[in-house]
């Protein structure tokens, strides 16, 4: 089962949990920190394995819940994150969700953080394959630490599907966050849909997944 979760060709889980939004993960982040992202209980899981709705993945840096629906499988797993995928009702339709930790450089205020997120997404989704159609970015501190809420719309002109390459609509709802207690790390929680048409009903499921990713309480 081949899912194109968030924005380009899948790599091995050790690179970025099975998707390309964050392939520029810095090796400067201490290995011990990355290893603490998800607990050893995750080692019992493997790519391709189905997951129960809201299955809990506790960790030293982040707590993660699987999406709250049937039909999801693990599509990528590594010390720096985890990703899930699900097929839609059509042969070319897929859903994806992921959590990734990465190095986030210092930014001077909310506007600069938003600019950094925009540039990162553009670098991971370059033309001519990807064309941004309808996106919005909002800085927020609703969680008590700096975040950028991103709603991204793209045309993917070369999506790999079971029936060959197709031009499909790609929607991504993502929250980029600076870790409230660690100096270097940022992390991403994202939920995506790709298909012939947009899914106007996915926002509630996306928000539910994103809100389930949290820094453990001390």
Please state the three-class secondary structure of 88-134 as a single string.
CCCCCCEEEEEEEEEECCCCCCHHHHHHHHHHHHHHHCCCCCEEECC
What's 13-211's CATH class? alpha beta
- Amino acid 85: pLDDT: 97
Class of residue 109 by CB neighbours under 10 A (exposed 0-12, middle 13-18, buried 19+): exposed
Which pTM value belongs to this model? 0.81
Alpha-carbon torsion 100, 104, 108, 112, what sign? negative
Q: Give pLDDT, residue 130.
A: 96
The pairing of beta strand 147-161 with beta strand 56-57: unpaired
Place of tokens 């719309």: 153
Compute the distance between CA of residue 130 and CA of residue 92 in angstroms, rounded to an integer.
Answer: 17
pLDDT at 5: 33
Please report the pLDDT score of residue 54 as a whole number: 96
pLDDT tens per residue across all 218 residues of the chain: 333 333 333 333 322 222 333 322 223 333 333 344 555 445 556 678 999 999 999 888 889 999 999 999 999 988 788 999 999 999 899 999 999 988 899 899 999 999 999 999 999 899 999 999 999 999 999 888 899 999 999 999 999 998 899 999 999 999 999 877 766 789 999 999 999 999 999 999 999 999 999 888 76
Note the pLDDT of residue 140: 95
Burial class (CB in 10 A: 0-12, 13-18, 19+), 134: exposed
Q: Where are the domains of the chain?
A: 13-211
Do the strands 164-178 and 185-195 form a parallel or antiparallel pair, or are they unpaired? antiparallel
Q: CA 75, CA 50: separation in Å to the nearest integer? A: 9
pLDDT for the residue 33: 36
What is the distance between the alpha carbons of residues 56 and 64, in angstroms, rounded to a whole number? 6
């Amino acid at each position: 089962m081949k899912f194109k979760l968030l924005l380009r060709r899948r790599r091995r889980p050790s690179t970025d949990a099975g998707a390309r939004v964050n392939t520029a993960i810095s090796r400067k982040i201490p290995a011990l920190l990355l290893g603490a992202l998800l607990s050893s209980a995750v080692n019992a899981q493997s790519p391709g394995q189905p997951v129960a709705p809201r299955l809990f993945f506790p960790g030293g840096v982040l707590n993660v819940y699987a999406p709250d629906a049937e039909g999801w499988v693990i599509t990528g797993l590594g010390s720096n994150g985890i990703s899930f995928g699900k097929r839609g009702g059509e042969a070319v339709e897929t859903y994806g969700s992921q959590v990734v930790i990465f190095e986030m450089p210092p930014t001077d205020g909310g506007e600069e953080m938003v600019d950094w997120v925009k540039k990162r997404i553009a670098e991971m989704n370059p033309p001519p394959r990807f064309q941004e159609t309808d996106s919005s970015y909002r800085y927020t501190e609703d969680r008590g630490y700096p975040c950028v809420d991103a709603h991204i719309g793209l045309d993917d002109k070369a999506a790999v599907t079971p029936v060959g390459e197709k031009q499909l609509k790609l929607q991504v709802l993502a929250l980029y966050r600076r870790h409230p207690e660690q100096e270097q790390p940022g992390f991403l929680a994202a939920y995506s849909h790709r298909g012939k048409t947009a899914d106007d009903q996915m926002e509630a499921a996306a928000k539910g997944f994103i809100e389930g990713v949290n820094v453990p309480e001390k």
